[in-house]
Amino acid sequence: MLRKIVVAACLAFALTACSSSPSGGGSTSSPQPKPEVKQTDAETGRVVLQRLFTTSRGWSSDTEPVSIQSQNYKNAGGNPNAPLGHDGKSAIWRGLFASPGRHAMKTYMWSGLTGPDAPSPGINPGSEDSFSATNTSTQPFQFVYLKIDSDQAFETAQKHGGAALLKKNANMPVNFTLNWEPRKSMLVWHVIYGESENSPELGVIVDATTNEFVRAEK
């Protein structure tokens, strides 16, 4: 009787072991799916400038915008989905604000990127610098002059040489800078085509109040 019980127990153990083993004797672990790269959040310059302006008022109640600049390039922040600015938007904007009362300027960055090297999403304050009201290169402006957003300025720039460049190179980044131009006493968008902002393939200046073409720089 005892022998029958032992045999039955061994048989049950053998059946359990066989049922738990995978067919073919392979590993029980399944291949892990690759992590999904999240899409970026891109915005136009005017939208982001208003957000940064509100934040800058927490630093000083008399701040005024000086400039805002985009940062578009392929694989920005390690994200292959980073935009190239072809819709007038960017996932990274840097705004500069001046406080006459403090005699100081402060930068703020907005990021909508996700990636291994991307800056933290949302608004991030930057460093302070001295501000002089007599320095025309950092002259603040009033929001009343900003009637044209970066996507509208891009459409104008496309009609003045931009479309031909992007037709030749669909991966060419386009960047945007908004600032006051003292020579003409106007607020302008600089629509910059090319990998280098210092030596671009083309730069188109657009009136940020009327959306009129001002000039092209090569």
pLDDT band (50, 70, 90) for residue 111: very high
- Whether residue 95 lies inside any domain: the answer is yes
Q: Which amino acid is at 139?
A: Q
The boundaries of the domain holding residue 86 are 43-217
Say which range, 8-17, 48-57, 85-94, 189-198, has the weakest mean pLDDT.
8-17
| Residue % of the chain over a pLDDT of 90 | 69
Distance CA 157, CA 211 (A): 10
pLDDT band (50, 70, 90) for residue 119: confident
- Whether residue 164 lies inside any domain: the answer is yes
Q: Give bridge partners of residue 217 from the DSSP assignment.
A: 203
Burial of 26 (0-12, 13-18, 19+ CB in 10 A): exposed
Identify which has the larger pLDDT, 140 or 119: 140
- Whether residue 61 lies inside any domain: the answer is yes
Of all helices (H) and strands (E), which one includes residue 168?
helix 163-168
Most confident of 37-51, 63-77, 92-106: 92-106
Mean pLDDT of 47-61: 98
So what's the pLDDT on residue 82?
80
Q: Residues with Cβ < 8 Å from 205, sequence gap 6 or more?
A: 181, 188, 189, 190, 191, 213, 214, 215, 216, 217
Mean pLDDT of 121-126: 95
- Whether residue 32 lies inside any domain: the answer is no
Per-residue b/e over 127-146, b at no fewer than 16 CB within 10 Å? eeeebeeeeeebbbbeeeeb
Number of domains in the chain: 1
- Whether residue 22 lies inside any domain: the answer is no
Burial of 94 (0-12, 13-18, 19+ CB in 10 A): buried
Q: Give bridge partners of residue 216 from the DSSP assignment.
A: 204
- Whether residue 14 lies inside any domain: the answer is no
Q: What is the DSSP letter of 107?
A: E
- Whether residue 99 lies inside any domain: the answer is yes
Within 10 Å of residue 102's Cβ, how many Cβ atoms? 15
- Whether residue 7 lies inside any domain: the answer is no
Q: What are the structure tokens assigned to 84, written together?
A: 């190239």
Residue 98 clears pLDDT 80, i.e. is over it: yes
Say which range, 12-21, 82-91, 94-103, 137-146, has the weakest mean pLDDT.
12-21
Q: Give bridge partners of residue 186 from the DSSP assignment.
A: 181
Mean pLDDT of 66-93: 88
